[in-house]
Amino acid sequence: MQRSVLTVSGRAGVALGILGLMSVGTGAPAGAGTLPAQPTLAQEAQSVNAVCGRCHGMQLVMDSPMDYDSWHETVQKMLDRGADATDDQLQDIMDWLHHTMTTIDVNTADADELQLVLEVTPQVAQAIVARRTDHRFADLSDLKSVPGIDSSLLDAKTRLIYFH
Quick one: pLDDT at residue 3? 41
Sign of CA dihedral 97, 103, 109, 114: positive
Top pLDDT among 11 and 87 is at 87
Residues 6+ apart with CB under 8 A from 71: 94, 97, 98, 101, 102
> What phi-psi label fits residue 94: left (phi over 0), alpha (psi between -120 and 50 degrees) or beta?
alpha
pTM of the model: 0.73
- Check whether 160 has a pLDDT greater than 80: yes
Can you tell me the distance from the alpha carbon of 69 to that of 159, in angstroms, rounded to the nearest whole number? 18
Top pLDDT among 51 and 6 is at 51
| Residue type for position 72 | H
Q: Return phi, psi of residue 76, to 5°.
A: -60, -45
> What phi-psi label fits residue 86: left (phi over 0), alpha (psi between -120 and 50 degrees) or beta?
beta
- Check whether 18 has a pLDDT greater than 70: no
Can you tell me the distance from the alpha carbon of 120 to that of 104, in angstroms, rounded to the nearest whole number? 13
Contact, 60 vs 90, CB < 8 A? no
Q: What share of the chain has pLDDT > 90, as a percent? A: 71
CA 118 to chain CA centroid, Å, is 10
Q: What is the pLDDT of residues 35-91, one digit of tens each?
A: 445 668 899 999 999 999 999 988 988 899 999 999 999 999 999 999 999 999 999
